Structure 1
Amino acid sequence: MGSARWPSSCLSLLLGLSVLIVGCAAARPPAADVPWSPFPEVHEADAIFTGHRFQDGMVLPEVRIHYATLGTPRRDASGAVTNAVLMLHWTGASGEVLRGKPFQDALFAPGRPLDATKYFLIFPDSVGHGRSSKPSDGARMKFPAYGYGDMVALQHQLVTGTLGISRLHAIVGLSMGGMNAWLWSELYPEAVEGVMPIVSLPTRIAGRNLLWRRFVSRQIREDPEWRNGDYTAPPRGWREAFPVVRMMLDGVPHLQATLPDAPAADAFIASAMAQAEGMDANDILYSLESSRDYDPEAGLGAIQARVFALNFSDDEFNPVSLRTLEALMPRVKHGRFVVQAGDARSFGHFTQAHPELWAEQVAAFLAFLEGE
């Protein structure tokens, strides 16, 4: 099936951090008034991979990947799991963010698109994030310089080795998780039926998206307080860079409506700098620079999975004016995409953290996956 752009009357940052989701997601009501029943119990565990070699050649005696599951695996006559969905988070966040109330209400509650009574949902913390192995565990700048390829390889080991699932029904990835989903569809074409990359593009990071990453990296690395990663307090360069990240995360119409004067802008900056205090600069540096190996463009024609890409018109990380999806999606054999319109009520790139605004697109993806 060729690419098609689906218009929508409704309404990654690649640095949407978990502390942000609490404040931003609370700004909107739950997605829908759906009947509530208790979720199946969430199971959390750590997968330990010994002697793991990273792409940079470094070997760690142990790599820990923390993960959670929600729901119950369903199996076919051969015993293979048929209802597994991998949920992949954005840069600086964790799988726990995707299990928060906004996502529960909009996606996982009974009757919602990824109803946890029907699907077996898997929420890993990607390497360098959450409760998985990361620089701030103690290695600091001696931690392997992981890339997106390393993230996806460890996710694949978790799914196939630890959980014993040979083929995922779907992957839903947000921002960095969306880019991971693109890589999954190319690196492990037999291992997934369909992928839904949200606020991500199937090409190398360049232009504005590259500039802000380099700016933040330089602000950290060139700050004397950073001390080559051996700082004792959040470096000033990181704290002063984060308001720029916050600005890029948000939508232009939303900022225009919510920051009408200098006091409002100053309050925005102060809030962002306060949030930066609670983040580890080395973890952030590693996570931003891990995108260096991302470039799926050449392999788009070989993708076997059904792909349903979702972006937002007010996303400043992935500007729609570049028409990247229009140019590249025709190469995907079974691909569709939506550019959902943003307005003063949406949040640009960070609309990803408001699933009530795009849950209907997940339902459309699942229908597309079933051939409807």
Structure 2
Amino acid sequence: MKRRDLFLGVSVLLLGCASARPPVTEPTAAISTAAPFSATSELAVQQGDAVFANHRLHNGMTLPELRIHYATAGTPRRDATGAVTNAVLLLHWTGSSGEVLRSKPFVDALFAPGKPLDATKYYLIFPDSLGHGRSTKPSDGLRARFPAYGYRDIVELQHRLVTETLGIPRLHAIVGLSMGGMNAWLWSELYPDDVEAVMPIVSLPTRVSGRNLLWRRFVTHQIRNDPDWRGGDYTAPPRGWCEAFPVFRMLLDGVPHLQETIPHAAAADAFVQEAITQAARMDANDILYSLESSADYDPEPALRDIKAKVFALNFSDDEFNPVSLGTLERLMPRVKRGRFVIQPGHGGSYGHFTQAHPEQWARHVADFMAYVEESPQTAVQNE
């Protein structure tokens, strides 16, 4: 099978940026951990940077100037009080950016006229999360001297972008993928009155543990313990990171798909070499920080307090979040207005990274948006 990987270079933006920035009109690149699709987008967007001075992270460290890059598409619609009523926040996965979610496959499946998140109907917001894309991140210059951050920091900054920069007190919906899905779970708990509905995709409402934790620790240990890492001051991609990434990449894919596409040793060797080449284009410090940022994620204790409608989507061939654990079946009954779907995997799906092929799951986004629009009485009857 022919693979097309999206390799977009990262523009270096240092912490010493201006406190006010004009909208950015020309796209620059952002890294994607694995994106087998074209970056061409037909979605018209406005881009800009929200810059927060002396932002204090949850660990007590402060960044003198912190930038969150974002793009918006569509037109805000307002009620009689002037509040925006059609804002939808789109949250990307680890090592990616909002730019990937604006690529042609996502536009065609989700944002085009008549699609579930039609940009002529909704006001779409695409942030680059802290540590990713064109937002403030270790590779901007601080490298391993960058303060550690967590998912709660990521979500707090997303909230500040939405409420302070864009002036939107309540989101109509959030759709998040993988890390973005975990961010969506936290949004529903940390800001229960500020979002109407969330759709976490390929994520689970519980702390990272088991195999999901093991692969993260394996990759981060390979980076930190590599002599070429040099405490974060490497001059070339650390060998440990490049050699660890094929395992990361393998787990992203689905067992049925790998069984069909890796029939012999030559195909396996090509897969490994492609992954190593891809890893060499990424910044190891950025990946290290983003993987370790999941340490503070654990929405399970507060699931009963969620007010938003929740529509969770997972894939049966996802090796990061194995459905054999029965996590959604066990935990979703705690969510008052919660629903979930486990989509079966097959030889043409991609395991965890089916998330990057929205044409395979867009129908569930349509179901989610129909759920969002249901009257309270209808929703209760359906549940």
Q: Is the structural similarity TM-score above 0.5?
A: yes
Contact in 2 for aligned 1:17/1:91 (Cα 8 Å): no
Contact in 1 for aligned 2:55/2:63 (Cα 8 Å): yes
Cα deviation code 1:198-253 (max 9, x no counterpart): 00000000000000000000000000000010000000000000000010000000
Distance 2:150 2:208 in 1: 13
Q: Out of 78, 84, 90, which is 2:81 matched to?
A: 78
Relative to the length of structure 1, the TM-score reads: 0.91
Partner of 2:218: 215
Q: Out of 360, 364, 379, which is 1:361 matched to?
A: 364
RMSD: 1.4
Cα deviation code 1:18-58 (max 9, x no counterpart): 1621xx235xxx9xxxxxxx75x310000000010011111
Partner of 2:291: 288
Contact in 1 for aligned 2:155/2:183 (Cα 8 Å): yes
SS at match of 1:25: coil
Within-5 A mapping of 1:214-363: 214-363=217-366
SS at match of 1:160: helix
Distance 1:254 1:155 in 2: 34
Partner of 2:198: 195
SS at match of 1:61: strand
SS at match of 1:87: strand
Partner of 1:148: 151
AA matched with 1:223: D
Partner of 1:100: 103
AA matched with 1:18: S
Contact in 1 for aligned 2:144/2:231 (Cα 8 Å): yes
Are 1:179 and 2:177 an aligned pair? no
Deviation at 1:358, TM superposition (A): 0.4
AA matched with 1:245: F
Cα deviation code 1:161-220 (max 9, x no counterpart): 000000000000000000000000000000000000000000000000000000000000
Partner of 2:37: 25
Deviation at 1:367, TM superposition (A): 0.7
Distance 1:243 1:265 in 2: 10
AA matched with 1:76: D
SS at match of 1:67: strand
Deviation at 1:17, TM superposition (A): 5.9
Distance 1:60 1:93 in 2: 22
State the structure with bigger RCO (CA 8 A, min sep 6), 1 or 2: 1
Relative to the length of structure 2, the TM-score reads: 0.89
Distance 1:170 1:179 in 2: 15
Distance 1:145 1:237 in 2: 21
SS at match of 2:303: helix
Contact in 2 for aligned 1:182/1:202 (Cα 8 Å): yes
Q: Out of 46, 50, 60, which is 1:43 matched to?
A: 46
Distance 1:197 1:294 in 2: 14
Distance 1:258 1:188 in 2: 43
Contact in 2 for aligned 1:196/1:310 (Cα 8 Å): yes
Contact in 1 for aligned 2:33/2:95 (Cα 8 Å): no
SS at match of 1:192: coil
Distance 1:85 1:19 in 2: 24
Distance 1:97 1:47 in 2: 19
Distance 1:81 1:99 in 2: 22
Contact in 2 for aligned 1:106/1:112 (Cα 8 Å): yes
Cα deviation code 1:53-87 (max 9, x no counterpart): 01111111100000000000000000000000000
Partner of 1:4: none
Distance 1:112 1:369 in 2: 15
Aligned-pair identity in percent equals 74
Distance 1:320 1:62 in 2: 41
